[in-house]
């Protein structure tokens, strides 16, 4: 099974070429908004949109045949995503153009790409390093997206299909416990504290509150300025979160590859809805809802696939309440051996960090899932009873 990776490459653009790219992105953006505004929002089929708007797109905006088709596909895709989130598609920005293999090509011998513009075909040299060259070498990309950044530079995001290496077969498993106090804690003892991330989020939350108050008052220009600043803050916080998750996922996958280990994670699907049902303060609710654990899981999954590291998901039930040494759970369902960041087992006496204990339990579950060999998890009391039963089997009349 192949894996699609996106390689971001900077373009070397002359002033005349920049004018052609700007004109293409402007026409593409206008066409997107025109189609979105002049067709029913429930139409999310690209073929149907093309039958309704194709000729009008070409006549109004001067786009080529394939670019007109890309407009219909982009609107259809955006509407499908918006439908899942139960919200309409409001507006498209004029800062990107999507391409397929008919209007985009990559040439390795001189590291250039050819793109269709509103004024014909243009060839651009790529300003890339060894990483991008290594990823593009020998590939035959069939899709790309042209974008213009705020600093005026142009980038082409090239989609390449790579066959990931065969996943290593191993008995070793690194368990990863995800949380908010520690963003991630591994069974080997590595941990990434979430204190810095919470400080940054709280800082942006206070700024948003101030700007939102000002955005509802004052002059028209001041309100517009506040809205622009709110959008910038949202982008900064999102990029910081992605940077943190990239750094953590890279370190975990690198360690797993170096030690020839698999990675085990809890399957936390739906945890946000479950946690929101509990009574909490406004601050705790905001912090929980901004916890990007799913993004971290996505980063771990695709980085592990590229590195040939196996990743398994385990059920999260009782992973924080079970002692990884004796696999014992507190006999009273209303109580737990865990208290905050501390864990002290009342059965075997093990005492230590609660997240480290949870990560080790996840590693044990991951080992059973990764290399199933029957009932590999049982507490010592159950094992003692099993041994007694085998030593003195019941007699039947």
The backbone torsions φ and ψ at residue 347, rounded to the nearest 5 degrees and listed phi first, read -100, -55
CA 255 – CA 191 distance, rounded (Å):
13
Domains and CATH numbers, the chain: 3-162 (no CATH), 173-381 (3.30.420)
pLDDT at 285: 58
3-state secondary structure of 393: coil
Q: What are phi and psi of 70, to 5 degrees?
A: -65, -35
Chain-centre distance for alpha carbon 258: 24
Structure tokens at 46: 């690209």
Least Cα distance to 190 among 258, 287, 267, 243 occurs for 258
Q: What is the Cα–Cα distance from 180 to 289, expressed in whole angstroms?
A: 11
Contacts of 58 (CB under 8 A, 6+ apart): 64, 65, 68
Which pLDDT does position 112 carry in this prediction?
95
Of 156, 44, 33, nearest to 99 (Cα)?
156
pLDDT by residue (tens digit) across 81-128? 998 888 888 889 889 999 999 999 999 999 999 999 999 999 999 999
Tell me what pLDDT residue 74 has.
94
* pLDDT computed for residue 348 by the predictor: 87
Classify 41 as helix, strand or coil: coil
Is there a contact between 324 and 360 (Cβ–Cβ < 8 Å)?
Answer: yes
What confidence score (pLDDT) does residue 394 get? 39
pLDDT in tens, 245-300: 999 999 999 999 999 999 999 887 765 555 555 656 655 555 555 567 788 888 99
Classify residue 19 as left (phi > 0), alpha (psi -120 to 50) or beta: alpha
Q: Note the pLDDT of residue 268.
A: 76
The segments of the chain whose pLDDT lies below 70 read 1, 270-291, 371-397
Q: What pLDDT is stored for residue 384 in this prediction?
A: 45
Determine the pLDDT at residue 275.
Answer: 54
pLDDT of residue 198: 75
């Amino acid at each position: 099974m192949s894996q699609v990776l996106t390689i971001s490459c900077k373009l070397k653009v002359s002033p005349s070429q920049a004018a052609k790219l700007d004109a293409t992105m402007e026409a593409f953006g206008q066409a997107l908004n025109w189609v979105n505004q002049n067709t029913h929002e429930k139409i999310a089929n690209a073929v149907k949109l093309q039958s309704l708007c194709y000729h009008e797109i070409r006549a109004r905006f001067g786009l080529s045949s394939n670019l007109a088709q890309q407009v219909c596909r982009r609107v259809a895709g955006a509407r499908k995503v918006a439908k899942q989130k139960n919200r309409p598609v409001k507006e498209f920005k004029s800062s990107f153009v999507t391409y397929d293999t008919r209007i985009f090509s990559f040439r390795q011998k001189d590291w250039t790409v050819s793109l269709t513009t509103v004024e014909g075909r243009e060839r651009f040299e790529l300003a890339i390093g060894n990483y991008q060259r290594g990823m593009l070498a020998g590939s035959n990309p069939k899709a790309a997206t042209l974008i213009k950044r705020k600093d005026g530079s142009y980038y082409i995001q090239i989609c390449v299909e790579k066959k990931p290496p065969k996943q290593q077969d191993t008995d070793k498993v690194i368990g990863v416990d995800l949380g908010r106090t520690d963003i991630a804690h591994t069974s080997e003892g590595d941990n990434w504290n979430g204190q810095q991330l919470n400080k940054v989020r709280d800082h942006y939350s206070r700024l948003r509150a101030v700007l939102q108050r000002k955005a509802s008052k004052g002059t028209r220009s001041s309100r517009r300025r506040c809205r622009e600043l709110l959008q910038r803050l949202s982008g900064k916080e999102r990029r910081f979160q992605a940077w943190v998750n990239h750094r953590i996922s890279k370190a975990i996958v690198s360690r797993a590859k170096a030690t020839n280990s698999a990675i085990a994670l809890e399957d936390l699907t739906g945890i946000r809805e479950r946690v929101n049902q509990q009574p909490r303060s406004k601050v705790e609710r905001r912090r929980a809802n901004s916890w990007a654990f799913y993004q971290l899981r996505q980063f771990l999954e695709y980085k592990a696939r590229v590195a040939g590291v196996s990743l398994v998901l385990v059920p999260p039930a009782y992973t924080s309440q079970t002692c990884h040494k004796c696999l014992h759970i507190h006999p009273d369902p209303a109580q737990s051996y865990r208290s905050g960041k501390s864990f002290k087992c009342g059965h075997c006496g093990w005492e230590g960090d609660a997240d480290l204990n949870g990560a080790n339990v996840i590693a044990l579950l991951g080992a059973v899932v990764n290399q199933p060999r029957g009932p590999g998890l049982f507490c010592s009391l159950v094992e003692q009873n099993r041994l007694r039963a085998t030593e003195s089997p019941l007699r039947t009349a």
